[in-house]
């Protein structure tokens, strides 16, 4: 399987699981809709929503850029090794996989915590937010490292800058809003 096909399948399968976890969580457990905000209210909630929308847009741009890049450049990321046995494409696919898997875990474990008050579910939910944030940092790192090493015209395109900007939005949302502010507000 090529790096591109792996990237696409990871996004299809685990992106679907992320969306499914949100759809099931919100539709099947309406009594927890407010509790899932974890004390985030008013203007801060509006900032979360706007940030989520921009992060989702940023992820879509990132996804399209990687697909376009591989198709137009025959996957030249794969030739640039970060560590001798770990290349950029492997790192990117691994970080996307971790990002999506742990993003899919957050809501179900938080609902389990709200249902049972078993603190292990809260710890897993919080850990999933932190791991998701860490994986988003890895996605930004591997993409940026790949950009440094490519020589195509795409490197200087607005599309590449939008991709990096989108990844920065994802990192800031996952790290600051979800990993820090949400966790602090929810545990109060």
| Mean pLDDT calculated for residue range 89-118 | 95
Long-range Cβ contacts of 161-168 (<8 Å, 24+ apart): 162/61, 162/65, 163/61, 163/62, 163/65, 163/66, 164/140, 165/58, 166/54, 166/55, 166/57, 166/58, 166/59, 166/60, 166/61, 166/62, 167/58, 167/62, 167/136, 167/139, 167/140, 167/143, 168/58, 168/140
Between 144 and 76, residue with greater pLDDT: 144
Confidence of residue 154 (pLDDT cuts 50, 70, 90): low
pTM for the full model?
0.90
| Mean pLDDT calculated for residue range 64-74 | 79
Residue 186 structure tokens: 């929810």
Confidence of residue 85 (pLDDT cuts 50, 70, 90): low
* Lowest-pLDDT range of 6-15, 70-79, 118-127, 136-145: 70-79
Domain span holding position 129 = 3-187
Report yes or no: 188 and 111 within 8 Å, Cβ to Cβ: no
Does residue 87 have a pLDDT over 60? yes
Count of domains for the chain: 1
């Amino acid at each position: 399987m090529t790096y591109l096909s792996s990237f696409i399948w990871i996004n299809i399968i685990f992106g679907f699981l992320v969306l499914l976890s949100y759809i099931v969580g919100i539709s099947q457990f309406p009594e927890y809709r407010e509790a899932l905000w974890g004390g985030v209210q008013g203007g801060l909630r509006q900032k979360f929503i706007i940030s989520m929308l921009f992060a989702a847009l940023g992820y879509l741009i990132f996804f399209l850029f990687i697909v376009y890049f591989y198709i137009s450049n025959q996957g030249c990321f794969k030739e640039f090794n970060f560590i001798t046995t770990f290349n950029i494409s492997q790192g990117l696919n691994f970080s996307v996989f971790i990002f999506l898997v742990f993003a899919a875990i957050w809501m179900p474990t938080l609902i389990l915590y709200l249902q049972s008050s078993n603190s292990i579910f809260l710890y897993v939910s919080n850990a999933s937010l932190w791991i998701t944030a860490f994986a988003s940092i890895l996605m930004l790192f591997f993409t940026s490292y790949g950009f440094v090493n490519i020589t195509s015209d795409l490197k200087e395109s607005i599309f590449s800058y939008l991709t990096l900007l989108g990844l920065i939005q994802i990192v800031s949302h996952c790290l600051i809003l979800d990993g820090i502010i949400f966790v602090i507000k929810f545990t109060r």
